[in-house]
Amino acid sequence: MMNNALPRFNHSNYLKQQEKYILEKKSSGLGFYILSYILTMVAAQYLFLQFFLSYSQDNIYISNIPMFLINIFTSVFSAFIPGLFYFLISKSNISETISVKYVKQNILWPIVFMGMATAMVANYATDILQQNFSIFGIENTKVMSESTNTFFENILYFVSTAIVPAFAEEFAFRGIIMGTLRKYGDVFAIITSSVMFGIMHGNIVQIPFAFILGLVFAYIDCKTNSIIPSIIIHFINNFYSVMMDILRNSGDLNDRKTTSFYFLIISVFCILGIISFLYLINKDKNFFKLPQKSSFQYEYAKVLTLKDKIKAFLINPGIILVSVLLLYETISNIGVI
């Protein structure tokens, strides 16, 4: 006798497939947001450059001041314009995605000092890595410092490198990307947003450094439910880099004094970071544990495992396309010695 019974409906598997589909769709949208971020950056840089060149006397040479202004305008346009379109197209709520919640001062500054201690260690490790690339017969061809000559140029360098990226990049990566993905779990959002933040830098020196800092920034923001701490740490870290560049270019300090100052700053932040860690642990032994479920996590994080989520995030048209583009840029910035 034939068994005509219908196969039993697997509700758990159905939920898993549905959640995977929704996450892949959401991740692909974020991938295309990052792609629009890059394309807007290229287009804005070209248009602003053409504008300044049209007023340049020789139409060939363009000085530092217009270039810094171009960097400022480009950073603002590339982060915020595609971001606003993302919210309109995805019909997401800005206030539900990006939290700018006030963080108490007795929590904020210890967290900032700990973040800066991590950044200083990562800075030092990056410098060592960059100096030893020649062992493998390669070098990074993407220049990451600027030469300034006047006080006004230093101010513009400070604004374009320390202030604007701190707001623009945090809005994009810890705001839109991580804020969107937190609905699927904080650990997942921290890892994936940091991966994208790392490869977004497009050069072999900065990728590991940016990934580590991305983890720190993302963790701190999840812990405080606010992007304010990461903006502050991002700004201080970039400000430190700008000041080191200005000191090197000024010639006021010789190599020995510059190196001594470099290690002094690292030591101060590391000591402050250790003191802050001990203070926060003494205040609350569970302070560094992320909550099992944050206010960002609704019905989205029920079925998929962390491995399933990361796979769904990485394997979709938007993320694959932007990842290939960014990895190509990274490889193109590697020179053979």
Residue pLDDT, tens place only, 156-173? 999 999 999 999 999 999
Is 332 among the domain residues? yes
Residue 152 has pLDDT above 80, yes or no: yes
pTM over cut 0.85: yes
- Where is average pLDDT lowest: 70-79, 217-226, 228-237, 314-323? 70-79
Q: Are 217 and 122 a contacting pair, CB within 8 Å?
A: no
Q: What pLDDT is recorded for position 262?
A: 83
Query: What whole-number percentage of the chain has pLDDT above 90?
Result: 50
The residues pairing with 336 across neighbouring beta strands, listed in sequence order, are: 138
Is 86 among the domain residues? yes
Helix (H) / strand (E) containing 336: strand 334-336
CB atoms within 10 A of CB 56: 13
What are the backbone dihedrals phi and psi of residue 59, each rounded to the nearest 5 degrees, phi first?
60, 10
Is 12 among the domain residues? no
Is 6 among the domain residues? no
Is 4 among the domain residues? no
Helix (H) / strand (E) containing 258: helix 255-283
Is 265 among the domain residues? yes
Q: Are 312 and 23 a contacting pair, CB within 8 Å?
A: yes
Q: What pLDDT is recorded for position 302?
A: 72
Residue 95's domain comprises 17-336
Instruction: Give me the number of domains the chain comprises.
Output: 1
List the structure tokens of 201: 């830098």
Q: What pLDDT is recorded for position 11?
A: 61
Cβ-Cβ contacts under 8 Å for 181 (sequence gap 6 or more): 26, 27, 30, 188, 189, 192, 193, 313
Q: What pLDDT is recorded for position 68?
A: 87
Q: Output the CA torsion sign for 84, 90, 95, 101.
A: negative
Q: How far separated are the first and last CA of the chain, in Å rounded? A: 76
Q: What pLDDT is recorded for position 16?
A: 82
Cβ-Cβ contacts under 8 Å for 229 (sequence gap 6 or more): 103, 108, 111, 112, 115, 217, 220, 221
What are the backbone dihedrals phi and psi of residue 139, each rounded to the nearest 5 degrees, phi first?
-145, 155
Is 33 among the domain residues? yes
Is 3 among the domain residues? no
Residue 60 has pLDDT above 50, yes or no: no
Q: What pLDDT is recorded for position 137?
A: 62
- Which pLDDT tens digit goes with each residue over 6-40? 555 556 677 888 889 999 999 999 999 999 999 99
Residue 59 has pLDDT above 60, yes or no: no
Residue 143 — pLDDT band, cuts 50, 70, 90? Answer: low
